[in-house]
Structure formats: structure tokens, C-alpha cells
Chain A
């Protein structure tokens, strides 16, 4: 009973308030009102959840499972992720330009927020798979006739590559009869040796699609360019496939605990490829898009190595990218809304008209590429150090990618905001006071966690400990882990 009382406020905050917000937003036709309602419900949800979460997890690490809510429960994972999702949703609702939110964006974001909050809290695999599939369905595309054929196809590609493998895995596990309770913790199936690797590979494939790892990323740039950015950013960021790997990784501990050089190689290739693509972009939005994709490749790479440092780093980087990448993309969308196509072959000097837009863009950009003082730096440091023991050369490549991305970003920033102002620069409207506030909250999150990363890292580190101890129990390569956990 006490547990319910402790879990309830939190669940209400992360599921109830957004659900209410979704309802409220859908009842008005007035776009500005709808957006305001949604935004404030998310802001409220974030605040209540933060307070409630802090109260609940004073003695952190407890998993609540209570008889009244058999399929919902809370652990560290499901407490931090909804917060992150809320933050990203708030950023999108407050800061994204109207044109990106206007058609179905507000409802899309709210819908994803509610569905994902349940997804994070569910302990039931079937429900999980169902919700996962629901998230992938291009609800917004159905509602909207304004999108062209390419956009529709991109929606379906995404839905297919992320849903089918998961359904296949689920089917195979049902077939194996491992689903007696259908709860995560009891669900480890009995499989023929080697099967778990295939299944895990399918999971990784699905997550690559959602994370936008090369070459399964194609939906993302198309949808960002086609005014479907908010939903895509949510899916690529906080709701990314990393979560899928974590959850299913626990089901296939041996497969997960194996050294996965191929996964790391895919990650670094993806990161390197996108880093170069970003550098070669002609337009600012494209450059920002690929910059984010490149950094996501690094998250994927970090998940490949199973020592505490890099896995931990990957998780932190996932979170950091979720917030920072969202910030950067939203600012890039804002630039597009204000100035149309902004090409990078010359200087535009937009800072003359929009200093705050430039400032926010810069902060988020620096957070994306890992400026010391932001949480991304901590994450990247962990990944680099994690990799050095197993794959020193991958780690050197990793450093190269981060260096390249920083250069790309600074070039992008310089071209768009600095230099001799073009005639239109004075006509670049700045962020409104409300937007400034939202950007400040987002930036403060990145910087405060960057300066005091201890809570964030230790929260993650508990998850990784769980995962790694699982590996050790299952007899995987524990030498390194052994040294690391004396």
C-alpha cells in the first residue's frame, strides 16, 4: 500500500498529466491555445515528476511492483526516462516553429509522450511490444494530407524496420514458451544455443532503425525537412532504440555480454559517415540533422562495448543527445522558419537581428559536440575511456569523429549567425521572452548536469551494474568487469 502511495504520484505525473494535456489540446481548434495547453501540461508534468521522483527515489534503486498495478511499476529506468521525454517534448512544444507543429505536431508529441510513459513503466512484454508498435505507427501522417509521397514512405519504412523484427522476436519467444508471466524479470526464454544471438541481432536491427544508424536512418532527414520534425525528434531522441536494446539485452544476457565489435564498428562507421555528410551539407538544417545523427552513432557504438564505462557513457550520451540534439534541431528549424533555406557557402550574420536565437543555438550546439561543462563531455569521456582497453583504435577514431563534429558545428554556427549581415539579417526575429525562458531551462539542464554529473552518472551506473552483473552471472567475460568491480 505504501508502495502504491509512493508510486502513484509519480505515475500520475508522468502519465496522467500529459494524458490530460492531450485531451485538453485536442478539444480546441485554435492552434495557439492547443499548443499552450499541451506545453503547460508537459511543463507541469515535468515539475511534479521531478519532485515526486526525488521523493520516491530518495533510497534509489528500488523496484516497485505492487499488486494493484500488476503491469506498471517503477525502477530507476522508468523514472528518469519519462523526465527526459517530458523535457524534450516541452522543448518541442515551446520552441518549435508553428509550421512544424501546426498540422498534427502538438497531438503527435503528446500522444508519443503518453504512450511512451506507459511503455517505460510497463513490466509486461506483450504490452511493451504493443506500445512499441503503436509508437511507430504514423498517426500524424494519416491525419495529414499535406505530406508528399516521400514523406509517407519514410513513415512506413520506419514503422516496418522497427516493428517487424520486434514482433518476430516476440513471436519466437512465445513459441519458446517463455512467457508464462510475461514480466521482464521472469521472461528469460529457454532457447537453443545460437538462437539468442539471432534474436538479439534482430532487436539490434530494429533499434538501429529507430536510432537512425546508417543505413537505416533515411526516414529521419526526410521527415525533418518535411515539417514532421517534432515526432521524428522524439523518436530519435528519448524514445530511441537504445531502450529496446537495454530491455531485450536483459533477456539475452549472453548475447548482450559478448564482445560486439561489429556493433561498435557499425556505430563508428555511422558516426564517421554522418560527420562527413554533415560537413558536406549545403544547408544549415541538413548540417544540424546529420550532426545529430553522427552523435547518435556514437551512442550506438557505446552500447556495443559491455564494460561499465562505455555502456554508462552511452546511456548518459543518449540522454544528453536527447536534450541537446533536440535543442539544436529546434533552433535549426527556427532558423529555417525565419530565413527559409540558409546556405552555408556564405556568411549570413543573423546574430545582428537575433542574438538570443544565436546564443541558444550555440549552447545547444556546444552541448551536442561535447564542450566541457556540458553533460555530453562527461559521456564522451566515459565512452572514450571505456573503449581504450578493448579497442584502442576505435577509440582513436571516436576522438576524431568528435573533433570533426565540433569543427562542423562551429563552421555551421559561424556561417549562419556571424559574418557580414546579409540584408535580411535585421529581419531575423529573435526568440520571444517565453522561448528564451524555455531555452534557458533546457540549457541549464545540460550545464548543471555537466558541472555536477554525479547524480546523472550514478543513476545510469546502477542500470549498468545490473546489466553487467547479469553478464557475470551468466559466465560471460568477467575479467574486466571483475577488475572494475572489485
Chain B
């Protein structure tokens, strides 16, 4: 039996990797690739992956609760061994099925949607990498391995946001998402390292709770658990677009609709929630960290829903709606209700992928609703939402704040990014002086004369 599980999970993860390798070779070798070949390779890989995931899920719900598959060390030095392990339980197999299911759906959807697009092969290439990364992320048996998937997902996400790279905005927004991810990944990576430091291991099982994933306790004292859990929270906040890091999410709606759907409706954006659900035992040992998770989720959900109400484009509205619900999931995890959070996650992902896929149809839908509801539609009176209670200056104030998204991005730009860039430029200036002084025998030159541009222009 264990061999079978190893085979299945290995196949599920390897199929998109192999498809990626095939596509990459195809694309690198020639100037134009047949769309059909690209789609067929991808479709086959996803199908294989889906079947493997489905069988694993069926098994996990019918039979034993959880199972650790160890494919052996990836590399090892002395006692440090980076083992490729998969933790298969109801949580991970459900998410594997969600991942492969969504990937299959998007792969099928995009074959016509992206037909004739110049980036067609690139999209499928990235979709395969993403699927592999996401599968590793949800099935990894240790945080080290999870991090591998986490990074891959982050990178493909940034690249797909910048899919339409002949315009500058998508590139800029892709970079913003990537920077946010990177800042928050420092939390995840440091957390993992700290966990190694405290617990000498970062496996989900048994270190972070033996047995079924909702039960069990971690073997850390409260202080260490709190520190580590807070670091992981940082990591989760970036990926799951929680405030104050959530500003990238609406900006991520630059790519083709199917990629928005799979990344920011369904999978990638829920990765943070998954991580926290996995770490429930750790959170149970760290009440302070749990409170922080609840606080982050609550703030995000309230401000997110307010911001979402003023969005006038369909994709940003959906982005904030997603952010709101994910905030609620954080609250659920913080309240130590991983079961509820899991159901919420799976169900929400299905809903959003559907809504984002049909986002362009909003015009059609709204017009037909308008036909039936007439002026009730225009006023929305019978819905009687909360924002209608805010009148006068308070209303204007809140509306203004919501329209400017509560300034989270601006604050980040002004108080984090700008100072770092400022420092970097000063350092670069220093370095230019150093280089010019050392290598020109101490002759001082003004900072502007030894700009990089001149260094480059020298011939």
C-alpha cells in the first residue's frame, strides 16, 4: 500500500513537471509551437494528476486518516537531510484534488480562450509550473518542502500577472506582487529555520502534531511557538493578501482571465490559509499568535468588504470579496476551527473560480437583472446594505478611504519601499566613489560623473 501511495503522489506531482520540461524544450528549440501540441501535453499531464489525486482523496476519506510518504532524501549533508515527504490526509488530498481539478478546468478553458494569443505557450508553461508548485505546497510533508512549492507558486504568479508584458502596468503590478511575496516569505523561511532551531525538524508529522491533522500538539514551549507562529503568519499574510499586505491582490488582475481565476480566485490566494490550517497545533500552543491571526483576519475582512463595495470594475470587486472571505478564514483558524476553515476554503475556491471565469459576462447578467428589477436594481434599496447607513461627512469620509483602499499601498510605498530605495541609491553612490577612488589612484570624481551609465559607456 505505501508504495502505491508513493507512486500516486509522485505521479501527481511529477506529471506537470514532465509536461513543463517537454514544453520548455519545445519552445526553446523553435520559434513557433503548435497550440495543439502544447494543450494536449498539458491536458494529459493534468488528467493524470487529477486521477492520481482523486484516488488519493477517495482513499483518505474511506480508509486511514493520514499517511506519510517518504520518497527519500533530496540531498543530505551529515545529519541534515532534506527529505521529500508527502503528508497525505483528508486536508491535503482534498486540496490536491481542488488543485488538479482547477488546473484541468483552466487548461481546458484556456485552449480556446488563449487561442491565437502570442503568449499561448508561455501561459501553458507557467500553468504547468504553477500546478507542480501548488501540488508540492499542499502535499508537502515538511515545511522545507512546502517552501519549495511556495516559492514556485509565487514566481509563476508574478510572471502571469506580467503576462501582457508589452504594457508597463502589468509588469509593475507583477513586481509588486513579487515584492510582497518576498517580504512575507522571509517570515516563512525564518520561521522554518527557527523551527529547525527549536525543534530540530520542520516536519508536519509528528513534530507539529501526530495523528489526524486537527488533533495533536506541537512540542514547543509557548514562547518559541509564538515566535514561530507569528513568523508563519507573516508568510501566510502575503500569499493570502491580508492587510496590510493585501494591496497586490486587485492589482494582480492584469493577466488573462483564466489565470486570475485559478490564482486569485481559487488556489494561490488560499495557500496562506492552508499553511495556517496545517499549523493549527502550533497555534493552539500560542494563544498570542492565535489572537494575532484573528486580528489580522478581522481587520482585513472589515476593511476588505468596505473597499469592495466601492469598486467599479468587476475584477477588483471580486478581489476584495475574496480578500474578505479569506479574512474570515483567518479568523476561523485563529479560533482553532480548522475544519470549518477547510470547508470554507474549498467551497469558496470553487465559487470564486466560477465567478472570475465569467467576469466578462457581467454586462450581460446585469442588463438582464436590470430588466427584471428595473429601478430597484438602480437603487439597490431592497438589499439595504450597511454602507447605506453612512450618511453625510462620515459617509464621504469612509467612501473616500474605501476608494483609496485605506492607503495601505501608499503607506508601504512611502514608508518601506521609498526608504529602502533611498538607502540603496546612497549605497550605490558610495560604491561608485569607492570604485573610482580606488582604481583611479585616489583622484576624486564627483558622484554624477561616475554613474553606472558612464561605466557602461566606456569603450
Chains A and B touch (C-beta atoms under 8 A apart): yes
Residues 417-459 of chain B, each 1 if its beta carbon lies under 8 Å from chain A, else 0: 0001101111111110011101111000000000111011111
Chain B residue contacts of A347, Cβ below 8 A: 168, 171
CB-defined contacts of A271 to chain B, threshold 8 Å? none
Chain B residues near A399 (CB-CB < 8 A) = 186, 189-190, 193
Is B379 an interface position by the 8 A CB rule?
no
Interface presence of B313 (CB below 8 A): no
**Which residues of B sit under 8 angstroms from A359, Cβ to Cβ?**
28
A388 in contact with B439 (CB, 8 Å) = no
- Interface flags for B161-186 (1: CB within 8 Å of A; 0: not) read 01001111001101100110011011
A280 CB-CB contact with B under 8 Å: yes
- Nearest chain B CB to A346 CB, angstrom units: 8
Instruction: Tell whether A218 pairs with B438 under 8 Å between CB atoms, given A225-B455, A349-B166, A372-B148.
Output: yes
* B144 contacts chain A at the CB level, 8 A cutoff: yes
CB distance from B217 to the nearest CB of A (A): 23
Binds A, one of B70-78, B104-112, B323-331, B348-356: B70-78
Task: Select one of B178, B194, B427, B435 contacting A221, CB under 8 A.
Answer: B435
**Please, which residue of chain A has its CB at the minimum distance from the CB of B184?**
A403
Classify chain A: how many residues form its interface, as a range: 35 or more
Q: A336-B456, A341-B457, A457-B75 are in contact. Are A407 and B427 (CB under 8 A)?
A: no
Q: Per-residue 0/1 for A280-303: is the Cβ within 8 Å of any B Cβ (1 yes, 0 no)?
A: 111101100010000000000000
Residue from B78, B190, B440 within 8 A of A396 (CB atoms)? B190
Whether B182 pairs with A419 at a CB distance below 8 angstroms is: no
Q: Bound state CA distance, A308 and B80, in angstroms?
A: 9
Q: Does A148 contact B (CB under 8 A)?
A: yes
CB atoms of A414 and B174 under 8 A apart: yes
Question: Given A273-B427, A485-B78, A280–B421 Cβ distance below 8 Å?
Answer: yes
Please name all residues of chain B whose beta carbon is closer than 8 Å to the beta carbon of A154 when the two chains form the complex. 439
Q: Which of A114-122, A126-134, A236-244, A378-386 contacts its partner?
A: A378-386
**Chain A contacts for B194, CB-based, 8 A:** 388, 392
A278 to chain B, nearest CB (A): 8
B168 surroundings in chain A (CB, below 8 A): 347, 418-420
Complex-state Cα separation, A436 to B438, whole angstroms: 38
- Give the complex CA separation of A286 and B456 in angstroms: 8
Stretch at the interface among B151-159, B208-216, B382-390, B405-413: B151-159
CB distance from A418 to the nearest CB of B (A): 4
> B27: nearest residue on chain A (CB-CB)?
A359
Complex formed: what's the CA distance from A209 to B427 in Å?
20
Closest CB-CB distance, A191 to chain B, in whole Å? 30
Q: Does A193 touch B at the CB level, under 8 Å?
A: no
B79 at the interface (CB under 8 A from A): yes
Residues of A bordering B, CB below 8 Å: 99, 148-151, 153-154, 157, 215, 218-219, 221-222, 225-227, 273, 276-283, 285-286, 290, 307-309, 312-313, 336, 340-343, 347, 349, 351-352, 356, 359, 366, 371-373, 377-378, 381-382, 384-386, 388-389, 392, 395-396, 399-400, 403-404, 406-407, 410-411, 414, 417-421, 436, 440, 453-454, 457-458, 461, 464, 483-486
| Interchain residue pairs with CB less than 8 A apart (18) | A149-B441, A150-B436, A215-B434, A279-B424, A280-B425, A290-B431, A312-B77, A356-B28, A366-B155, A382-B80, A385-B193, A388-B194, A403-B182, A403-B185, A407-B179, A419-B165, A420-B167, A457-B77
In the complex, the 3 A-B pairs of residues with the closest C-beta atoms, listed nearest first: A280-B428, A280-B424, A283-B452
Known: A218-B435, A385-B80. 10 other contacts (CB 8 A): A150-B440, A218-B434, A225-B458, A273-B427, A273-B431, A378-B74, A381-B82, A403-B183, A404-B182, A406-B182
What residues of chain B have their CB less than 8 Å away from a CB belonging to chain A? Answer: 28, 73-80, 82, 144, 147-149, 151-152, 155, 158, 162, 165-168, 171-172, 174-175, 178-179, 182-183, 185-186, 189-190, 193-194, 196-197, 420-421, 423-431, 434-436, 438-441, 451-453, 455-459
